[in-house]
A and B are shown apart, each in its own frame.
Chain A
């Protein structure tokens, strides 16, 4: 169906990016953005599995009210390692470094990212950071929580704080360089005719994400450096004993780490915009609003970090301001939700695997977002701060939001990336398992938190056991839901049916080139002369 644009290529059976060299060197020294995306995909999957193991340890310990499986300190290490691995080594690079890396150059009609070597460097930085993380995991762990709050981290903790912080620091530079590469590519490498108003929303979302990566990450980098200096040389910045203010650490830390949750969610929103339009076979509703809301989230996200610190000794007046701006951030997020549902309205909807995940995203992210507004309310937060309510909220946004979006995008573009079709029935089964398992895991945690179960405790009163058991059972189902795709997706690479150029009849430059794409993406320079998401009635009728 896209024959008109692919005929210039030698042949569909010609050399593509996967068959262009098989040696280890051709992978480890590649500057092809698509190969680097695959390298990232493999590495973040390993870290996701590692983080999952730590999560399993946490859930198993919480199966019974007594601390019988591990002592408090081991438990502290488990949840800290879970947080560090999942946030710094999985969530932040997940969609941008894999799907974004693969698709951004193709979506803007370029041969590669603007700085291919820097792209490779950023993968190596990620791996070096990851090695620090692995070293910590095998050498005794860290128990400060992923937030590294001072003075505990800088003075009292006896664990591998510096190695972990170094890991996060180095991985941060990887994130910065990816963002820098994306912004330059989107500004300077767009094909003729591809105006800003014709960019896919996936690209807009990544543009907003990259802005946050550039503006936020350096602040946490210097904060971690100062924390490490204080720990290593007693050069005081945050320890009250040395005249410092621990709340300052929290300010600087959250200046990045709150926007960082938008680094994690915005690319996922970009995926959903693509998937929802494709599976509704309808132009997106309110294109400019979705694009603009990504930027609005990115900018407003920098004004709200104080809502993590209501109980930390921050001034109440500052808390009020942060609280009000946090409410405002809910508006652009809601704009997206409404526009996606409006896009589906009277669309020709097919509920395939990517769409199942996308629908799950819309529902779960809404729950996560609305409970976020609850937590942003100062008076309520005094009750809910550091309880399981916060844990549940965060996981609804990050797992229910970002991980589901990642799974959705991974399935959606899997045929493009690998040239193979995954077994649809297994895809649907695992999508349903993930949705059910997720809700069983995390909804009870809202109830637990509301009843007062604090986070980061390894033992709890007996009356909460039923909910904890539910949560642990749900987590087991969730795990199965993640193991299944790992199996059938890997299977499909070797045994799957070959994919055509555009298996889902989707719109977008990436669907006009063969699957998998040739090394330089396009056989000849591209000119775009069509609006974005130009699904037409006639075509849809022809499909039905």
Chain B
């Protein structure tokens, strides 16, 4: 019985235990790095399922009301949607370059790239706000005051419900992302990240790219109809 688990001290001898970036309950930096990465990936699974519910609703109503979606296509602003897609992909590129900079220990480039990512993220939200106000002026906000001059008002309204729920949820994720980015920027300016410790930059990047992917699908689903 007593040999069930024996305590051996040399097993983790290489960990030294003095790395300031390794939390006390991890054996070494590698374990901490892999845990952080896996944690973010698992979180992204939950995000996929979170948006998945709305994609399911979209699929159902699109098959129910194909005509309404065609009528509503006159109300979508394809140029703005396309411009926003480009903006978000650029921000994904700068985010990827930020991760690369942190991997290579290029401090200045890291800060610049985070700043650029935040800038493009904010432009995206600005354009989004403009689109929302445009919809508001046309009375396309679903609810008791919804106005639709074409055919199929009730069915078209469902599309706008989906439009606001999906883009709204996406925008919430963008805002959260910008919040994390602000924290990342402050810590990066303090010089916290190095080729030995860049996990926070990388997993923030994963989140940011995920939000980008959601938009990659929202664009054809809500604009190119």
Contacts and interface: CB of A to CB of B under 8 A. Distances in A.
A214 B157 contact: no
A180 B45 CA distance: 10
B49 A215 contact: yes
A215 to B, nearest CB: 6
Given A222-B53, A234-B143, A243-B157, A4 B47 contact: no
Contact of A526 (B5, B49, B51): B5
B45 A525 contact: no
B10 to A, nearest CB: 9
A251 interface: yes
A512 interface: yes
A245 B25 CA distance: 49
A310 to B, nearest CB: 19
Interface in A98-153: 109-116, 118
Given A8-B7, A226-B53, A243-B155, A3 B2 contact: yes
A242 B49 contact: no
Contact of A226 (B8, B46, B47, B165): B165
A242 B154 contact: yes
A216 interface: yes
A344 interface: no
B158 interface: yes
B35 A114 contact: yes
The secondary-structure label for the interface of chain B is helix
Contacts of B35: 114-115, 184, 188-189
B186 interface: no
B38 A184 contact: yes
B45 to A, nearest CB: 6
A183 B42 CA distance: 9
A234 B31 CA distance: 49
Interface in A482-540: 507, 509, 512, 520, 522-530, 534, 539
A114 B24 CA distance: 11
B164 A235 contact: yes
B42 A184 contact: yes
A243 B157 CA distance: 8
Contacts of B161: 229, 235-237, 242
Contacts, number: 165
A187 B157 CA distance: 46
Nearest to A111: B25
Interface residues of B, number: 50
Which of B5, B7, B12 gathers most chain A CB within 10 Å? B5
A252 interface: yes
Contacts of A187: 38
A216 B49 contact: yes
B8 A244 contact: no
B139 interface: no
Interface in A164-212: 176, 180-181, 183-184, 187-189, 191-192
A235 B142 contact: yes
B43 interface: yes
Contact of A180 (B26, B43, B52, B53): B43
A209 to B, nearest CB: 14
Nearest to B12: A525
A529 B47 contact: no
A2 B7 CA distance: 13
B53 A5 contact: no
A460 to B, nearest CB: 38
Given A114-B39, A221-B50, A109 B25 contact: no
Contact of A512 (B4, B8, B64, B162): B4
Contact of B7 (A176, A188, A225, A525): A525
Nearest to A232: B143
25 contacts: A4-B1, A112-B25, A114-B39, A180-B42, A180-B43, A183-B42, A191-B5, A214-B46, A218-B47, A218-B49, A222-B53, A222-B54, A234-B144, A237-B57, A237-B162, A242-B161, A507-B4, A522-B7, A523-B7, A525-B27, A527-B5, A528-B4, A530-B3, A530-B4, A539-B1
Given A214-B45, A222-B51, A222-B52, 8 more contacts: A5-B5, A111-B25, A184-B42, A187-B38, A221-B50, A237-B162, A525-B9, A527-B6
Interface of B: 1-9, 11-12, 23-27, 31, 34-35, 38-39, 42-43, 45-47, 49-54, 56-57, 60-61, 64-65, 142-144, 154-155, 157-158, 161-162, 164-165, 169
The 6 closest A-B pairs by CB, nearest first: A4-B2, A218-B50, A222-B53, A524-B7, A112-B25, A111-B25
Interface of A: 1-5, 8, 109-116, 118, 176, 180-181, 183-184, 187-189, 191-192, 214-219, 221-223, 225-226, 229, 233-237, 242-245, 248, 251-252, 255, 507, 509, 512, 520, 522-530, 534, 539
